[in-house]
Amino acid sequence: MKPKRKNINTPPYWDEKYKGLGKPERILYSPHKNMYEKICDLIFSFKHDKMVDVGAGTCVIAFLLEKRNFHFKDRYMLNIDHSKVGLEIGQTRLKETNVDIDIKVSDITKPIDMSDMEHQDNYDLVTCCEVLEHLTEPVLALKNMEKLVSDKGRVIVSVPHGRSPYKDHYWISIDNETMVGWHEAVGLTVDTITIVDRWKIFISRKITKEDAERMLSNESKRRVKADLCIPVKAE
């Protein structure tokens, strides 16, 4: 893990940034496109009735799912972010295609009041893409995800692979050991790491009693499977 930058990730900063970035279809022309498409592949691979995107921004994942004919009428999706501007841009864009998604404005590093939402917890899928590297306290965000996901659900998180050049990335780089440690600190165990271009995706679930016993055992160590679906491009 590399040194940190000054944190500039405030709601006003992102409100202005999202105003400039515009609608979520910008992702179709972004270097992030392959990574987000892989996230969508994973979402379709897991059976689920309700999901939540934490740090959703302009609801890019919901937009990409809609383009793939995701059955929103049969599944519930909540989008959480600290930028009201970003969420409303995404929600408005999706309404143009008759897709209605729920949004919630909240700081994801603080306790999230879900009392006003249709579903307060037990989500089958929790996604969080390109968010943790912006946060001074990423473990607190992961703790919220652990609270939101069901006992048999999955958490899908992505962060940059290697050194990040972006000024709004608080963490210059995050290695796999650190990410696994952050997950385990809140009661999640990483099953798979997938590298896509300059990003890596971690799939995790809640730690079971059997997991805890295995992790404490001196005779065996849990191994993280690396699924290199797309070759890593040189920096």
Q: What CATH number does the domain containing 160 carry?
A: 3.40.50.150
Structural domain contains residue 141: yes
- Is residue 23 situated within a structural domain? yes
Full 3-state SS string of the chain: CCCECCCCCCHHHHHHHHHHHCCHHHHHHCCCHHHHHHHHHHHHHCCCCEEEEECCCCCHHHHHHHHCCCCCCCCEEEEEECCHHHHHHHHHHHHCCCCCCEEEECCCCCCCCCCCCCCCCCEEEEEEECCHHHCCCHHHHHHHHHHHEEEEEEEEEEEECCCCCCCCCCECCCCHHHHHHHHHHCCEEEEEEEEECCEEEEEEEECCHHHHHHHHCCCCCCCCEEECCCCCCCC
- Chain segment 143-169, per-residue pLDDT in tens: 999 999 999 999 999 999 999 888 999
What was the pLDDT predicted at 223?
Answer: 52
Q: Considering the chain, what is the average pLDDT of its residues?
A: 89
Q: Which two tokens stand for residue 187?
A: 């009661």
Query: What are the tens digits of pLDDT across the range 186-198?
Result: 999 999 999 999 9
pLDDT for the residue numbered 229: 44
What lies within 8 Å, CB to CB, of 15 at 6+ separation is: 83, 84, 85, 86
Number of domains in the chain: 1
Instruction: For residue 172, give Cα distances in angstroms to 51, 109, 130.
Output: 29, 19, 13
Structure confidence at residue 210 (pLDDT): 86
The verdict on residue 63 lying in a domain is yes
Give residue-wise pLDDT tens across range 20-34.
888 898 888 889 999
Radius of gyration of the chain (CA): 17
d(CA 132, CA 232): 21
Q: How confident is the model at residue 113 (pLDDT cuts 50, 70, 90)?
A: very high
Is 214 within the bounds of a domain?
Answer: yes
Q: How confident is the model at residue 73 (pLDDT cuts 50, 70, 90)?
A: confident
Res 45: pLDDT: 95
Give the count of beta carbons closer than 10 Å to the beta carbon of residue 104.
19
Structural domain contains residue 192 = yes
Which residues span the domain enclosing 25? 11-227
Instruction: Give per-residue pLDDT as tens, 35-57.
Output: 999 999 999 999 999 999 999 99
pLDDT band (50, 70, 90) for residue 234: very low
Identify the residue with better confidence: 210 or 76.
Answer: 76
The reply to whether 223 falls in a domain is yes
- Residue 69, pLDDT above cutoff 50: yes
> Is 78 part of any domain?
yes
Residue 38 located in a structural domain: yes
